[in-house]
Amino acid sequence: VVAVTGAARGIGRAIAELIIACGGTVKALDVNADGLRESAGEVGAAYQPVVVNLTDDDDIARAVAECGPLDGLVNSAGVAMFEPFFETSRKAYDLQMAVNVRGLMQMTQLVTAGMAERIRAGAAPHANFAVVNISSQSSAIALVDHLVYSTTKAAVDHITHITAAELASLGIRVNAVNPTVVRTELAEKAWGEEGLAKIAKKIPLGRLAEPADVAKAVAFLLSEHASMITGVTLRVDG
């Protein structure tokens, strides 16, 4: 059983669908209740919606408790608000930090605490416990208008490295996937087709990433095939 945040659409939904295709069950978390219901109707019974507001500590705790025991967590939810430096607003800063960093960290704390409890109780002797965070290539490069967003993704990378080090003795793995621009509905609205075409020309493989490209990387990092991999930030950038 894997919890996936941001699972109502885009990258999160693609991740949820692939986990289910591989035989798993997904606790699909999102603030978008209508999107969760629609996806549940399309994906099937293994896609189990849990509405959550990642800016609300109490709601996160409630949602994690509702999920029950988990074998994996994918922190895919994120907010992107691109503004020039002098126009960067407190609202944009606070919201992106709340969802992309604080919400991710609290989800990870609560879910891995449950994993640790099961490990210490001897209740999961053959478990493959793993966390995968969705970061971005922008965590490591300077992009105009990306000050706050890129800062949050740099924080995600550091959270990944440090939690991987702290949880390794328990056998809980933590990794991140750092995609280039992914063709989603949100990307199309943000960049437009002309903008996306220009971005694609700068990518050596000559195309944008698709949600499925990210999902495949996540599925690998969750799987037994990655049992000796932790603390990695895996680029999916062409």
Residue 97 structure tokens: 């930090």
- End-to-end, the C-alpha distance of the chain in Å comes to 30
Rounded to whole angstroms, the Cα distance separating 166 from 22 reads 29
- Catalytic residue, from 91, 153, 202, 216: name it: 153
Residue 176 structure tokens: 């991140």
Burial of residue 204 (CB within 10 Å: 0-12, 13-18, 19+) is exposed
Rounded to whole angstroms, the Cα distance separating 4 from 30 reads 9
Contact status, residue 183 vs residue 236, Cβ threshold 8 Å: no
User: Is 153 annotated as catalytic?
Assistant: yes
Question: Could you tell me which residues are beta bridge partners of residue 191?
Answer: none
Helix (H, G, I), strand (E, B) or coil at 178: strand
- Catalytic residue, from 47, 149, 198, 201: name it: 149
Active-site residues: which are they? Answer: 149, 153
